[in-house]
Structure 1
Amino acid sequence: MTRIATYGSNQMYLSRVTALNERINKLTLQVLTEKKSQNYTGISKDSNRLINFENEKARANAFITNNDMAQTRIKAADVSMTAVEKTMKAFKDRLETFYANENRSQQDVENIQNWAFQSMIDMQSYLSSSADGQYLFSGGRVSTEPVKLAAGSLAGFQDIYDGNSVTYPTTRAAHMLDITTDTSITGNLSFNAANGTITAANAGTLSDIPVGSRITAAGAAAGNNQSYTVVGNTGTQLKVSRLTTEGPTAGTISYYTDDSKSTTNVAANLTFVPGTDTITVSNATGFTAGQTFTVAGTTGNDGVYEVQSITAGPPDTITIASAKIGTTETVAATLSADSWYQGDNINIEQRIDQNRTVSIGVFASDPAFEKAIRAMGMIAQGAYGTSGGLENNLDRIEGARFLIQDALNHPASASPPFGPEASSDLESVRSQLGVTQGLIKTTTETHKSYVGFLDERITSMENVNKEEAITLLLDDQRALEAGYQTLAKVREMSLLNFLN
């Protein structure tokens, strides 16, 4: 018989010891994990606020992660634009040196043309850079390489753009054209060999093709399926012959007489016939096939030409080298033009916080890059010694000088030679990218500060005061030890022990 008087008293004493033991286990777990509870039940009065804070923290961390990815894209784009800027400035410097040199040799001309083409290749490379498997300058077409030049070598480029029959576009609209006509819209196309025109059956359906564009015909007779430069457009009819009907009219023919580039000028009455692309000269010229000459003083036919063939006179009848319409026909044909820009104009939006998005896209088609590529292409076109060569078309230098300067810093000082140009330049593109980069950085820092604030609030609700928990644990451990000792002592105090 024990001294604990009843069974009930004994059980109550044991339950208190057990409760004390449970409290010690709880305090031990709190000390080890530093958490008040392992589930929300243990902090029920704060659980709703805690869940809200944790959701806010997760959202802020998601913004931080996404913003870091956007910053990576922007930094990679900025690196590419630094390289683009060096290429553009180097080309500008070389062009200015060439412009200032009055005694330009064949080597000088070929060097600047090669430099221009290599600069285009560099632009293609830098604007086709990627990050995280996505192209940076192709808009929404992140899997499509944004820049695709017409050729991979200068010789191949000059085969396409000979500077005579087919010239490199001088306006943005012509430079960016990407189109294929649809016969269900245009109707049949009429090719007129006598006039050098292509006419759509349905009025106004060719209005999207700007003057200066390079177009390629397909589906017509073999002699008509070639590339042309559009020199006039009524919306329904394209003029592709270089010549305008004129004459006889007084004009001047100039040509080089020897390797020193001394010039001979001949006054003559000139008659120009488009389509057949013939120039009738009242005087005997003595020209042979391949000869280049310059016409001046006419109403609409001034320019540099190359003799394809000649019927000697006088008067001499010169057939000039050009892309001629070979056959007069009306046929279900198409016209197409491929742009060097393969991307689109869809802005890539980045949500940097709950209430704000920014555009992080930079297009390779931005006028800052387009004007530079156009300037380089104008210089690179036309092989030396042909009518389309740079040495025979020195006005291209002035145009290219304006474009490259305007690409770097708009507006350039001179008047636009090809009409108004878009205002964007490399300086403004980089500035805007820097603003976006700074905004994302500031917003990310705000998110990080907010996460720090939430961590403090979450910690205050989740975590225990470790020093306090340890103190309570030690107190309860001592109380438990005393309880067990008391229980053991009491159980030793039986009536038999008392009588002994």
Structure 2
Amino acid sequence: MTDLNTQASSGYKSRNYSGIADSSQRLLNLEAEYTRTEQYLRNTTQAKLRLQNMESAVDTISSIAVKIKSLLVQSLSANQADDVNLDNEAKQAMEQISNLLNTNLDGRYLFAGGRSELPAVDIDKMYAPDNYMSESGVTLTDATTLASLGVTDGEIQIVSTDVNGASSTSTVDYDPTTWTIADLRNAINGNTTDGAIATLRGLDEHEGPRLNIENVGNGTITITEIAGGNILNALGMTKIPNPRPDTSYYTGDQQILEARIDDQYDVSYGILADDPAFQSLIQGLGIAAATTDQDALNVAMGHISDAINNLPNIQGKIGLDIANIERFETRHEDYKIFAAQAISDIETVDVPLTLAELSQYETALQASFITISKSSDLSLANYLR
């Protein structure tokens, strides 16, 4: 009766394992599995929450890309880049994308890979650096002579400033009577102090090569004639944002997040801010934010269109990761319910049933006390009487 009374008051069969010796090993196994399942569920909850935040950010980025493309179409179709305020719209979009790619959850920057303690992108490096490009329609090769382009004798000064503010200046004294485009490029590229590099390439893969003189420090560049000459005018050199692909804005690493969500099973999940879709969008916005040149805006349109085409792939990957995690999450939740019930069956008692059994024992005990009491009154004298 004492054991039953203890069980009824505590709800447990025993206060130690010896009281359930026949089930103690099974109980220990179930408790270990229950604890492990709870940890897996914490991991899946954390991973799913991160992915859902990333999914929301990418959805918003996709909407921004569609909006800017619409403005670009309007600007290009009616040559109204100024009227639609395209540059300011592109700058605002860049700031929004910077904030979205720097999404922070519980102190972790989600798009930064393993370097999650630092922002994933640096907005100062997201804008396309300066670049001087010769006009379209003029076919240039390294063998093209400056004389054939109508260049007269002179000298140019190149001033470059990188994103950290460090500035450098150099001069190039060219000779149009003997120099070719190759000679001009070599003179610029051979100067290690000017922070500029000269290349032959088009705005994109669809046009022929142009002469590009670009800042190598992702900053600003200014080229001026300082001793006569007309090389800038003869080549139609225009200052526009550099259209080359660039991911220098990304400050994270290449480590993909992982979560242990089952025995010997880790799931890799997440997207990095240097994904080609983000890079294309940032490239296009950087160009649109800094020029009204129609050729350059057409290139910006191409970059943003590529981003719009590729962003659904990112959204699909995140969705698949969430679905994969939820599948394990459902399995663990089901097992947790089963294990909790199995542990309860081993450890606990049915209190109402135990109270009923206790009442029966109390009745039997009282009857035994009465019997003992009556038997104590029996004697030979009383029997003979």
- Would the aligned equivalents of 1:195 and 1:274 in 2 still touch at CA under 8 Å? no
Q: Is 1:60 matched up with 2:37?
A: yes
Match for residue 267 of structure 2? Answer: 358
Cα distance in 1, alignment partners of residues 211 and 124 from structure 2: 28
Match for residue 108 of structure 1? Answer: 83
Q: Structure 2 counterpart of 1:348, which letter?
A: L
- Give the number of the structure with larger relative contact order, counting CA–CA contacts within 8 Å between residues 6 or more apart: 2
Determine helix, strand or coil for the equivalent of 2:267: strand
Match for residue 304 of structure 2? Answer: 404
- Would the aligned equivalents of 1:148 and 1:342 in 2 still touch at CA under 8 Å? yes
Aligned length: 323
Change in 2 beyond 3 A, CA 1:441/1:245: farther
Match for residue 203 of structure 2? Answer: none
Give how far 1:319 is off. 5.7
- Would the aligned equivalents of 2:102 and 2:109 in 1 still touch at CA under 8 Å? yes
Change in 2 beyond 3 A, CA 1:431/1:274: closer
Q: Is 1:440 matched up with 2:325?
A: yes
Change in 2 beyond 3 A, CA 1:247/1:302: farther
Match for residue 92 of structure 1? Answer: 69
Cα distance in 1, alignment partners of residues 211 and 121 from structure 2: 35
Change in 2 beyond 3 A, CA 1:247/1:100: farther
Change in 2 beyond 3 A, CA 1:348/1:222: closer
Cα distance in 2, alignment partners of residues 343 and 406 from structure 1: 23
Q: Structure 2 counterpart of 1:357, which letter?
A: D
Q: Structure 2 counterpart of 1:318, which letter?
A: N
- Would the aligned equivalents of 1:53 and 1:458 in 2 still touch at CA under 8 Å? yes
Cα distance in 1, alignment partners of residues 32 and 176 from structure 2: 77
TM-score by length of 2: 0.72
Cα distance in 2, alignment partners of residues 370 and 405 from structure 1: 12
Which of 356, 366, 370 lines up with 1:481 in the alignment? 366
Q: Deviations over 1:102-155 (max 9, x none)?
A: 4x37x338x212222221111101111111121111001111001102279xxx
Determine helix, strand or coil for the equivalent of 2:307: helix
When Rg is computed on C-alpha atoms for both structures, the one with the higher figure is 1
- Would the aligned equivalents of 2:261 and 2:267 in 1 still touch at CA under 8 Å? yes
Give how far 1:395 is off. 1.6
Q: Is 1:368 matched up with 2:280?
A: no
Cα distance in 2, alignment partners of residues 446 and 479 from structure 1: 49
Match for residue 187 of structure 1? Answer: none
Match for residue 164 of structure 1? Answer: 132
Give how far 1:355 is off. 3.1
Match for residue 56 of structure 2? Answer: 79
Change in 2 beyond 3 A, CA 1:217/1:362: closer
TM-score by length of 1: 0.56
Q: Is 1:318 matched up with 2:230?
A: yes
Q: Structure 1 counterpart of 2:307, which letter?
A: A
Q: How does 1:327-338 map to 2 (within 5 A)?
A: none
Cα distance in 2, alignment partners of residues 429 and 362 from structure 1: 8
Identical amino acids, percent of aligned pairs: 26
Cα distance in 1, alignment partners of residues 209 and 259 from structure 2: 52
Cα distance in 2, alignment partners of residues 275 and 217 from structure 1: 25
Change in 2 beyond 3 A, CA 1:303/1:390: farther
Q: Deviations over 1:23-77 (max 9, x none)?
A: x111122223332212111111111111111111111111112211111111111
Change in 2 beyond 3 A, CA 1:67/1:301: closer
Match for residue 137 of structure 2? Answer: none
Which structure 1 segments of 5+ residues have no match? Answer: 1-23, 166-193, 198-213, 225-239, 250-269, 278-298, 323-336, 382-388, 410-424
Cα distance in 2, alignment partners of residues 373 and 49 from structure 1: 58
Q: Deviations over 1:224-276 (max 9, x none)?
A: 5xxxxxxxxxxxxxxx98x9989799xxxxxxxxxxxxxxxxxxxx9995578
Give how far 1:458 is off. 2.2
Q: Is 1:143 matched up with 2:43?
A: no
Change in 2 beyond 3 A, CA 1:84/1:41: same
- Would the aligned equivalents of 2:157 and 2:226 in 1 still touch at CA under 8 Å? no
Q: How does 1:382-397 map to 2 (within 5 A)?
A: 389-391=291-293, 394-397=294-297
Change in 2 beyond 3 A, CA 1:38/1:146: same
- Would the aligned equivalents of 1:310 and 1:319 in 2 still touch at CA under 8 Å? no
Give how far 1:309 is off. 3.7
- Would the aligned equivalents of 1:61 and 1:451 in 2 still touch at CA under 8 Å? yes
Which of 73, 80, 101 lines up with 1:127 in the alignment? 101
Q: Structure 2 counterpart of 1:439, which letter?
A: N
- Would the aligned equivalents of 2:38 and 2:336 in 1 still touch at CA under 8 Å? yes
Determine helix, strand or coil for the equivalent of 2:274: coil
**Relative to total residues, which structure has the larger helix share, 1 or 2?**
2
Match for residue 237 of structure 1? Answer: none
Give how far 1:487 is off. 2.4
Q: Is 1:32 matched up with 2:6?
A: no
- Would the aligned equivalents of 2:115 and 2:252 in 1 still touch at CA under 8 Å? yes
Match for residue 413 of structure 1? Answer: none
- State which drifts further: 479-488 or 431-440: 479-488
Cα distance in 2, alignment partners of residues 449 and 300 from structure 1: 63
- State which drifts further: 70-79 or 430-439: 70-79
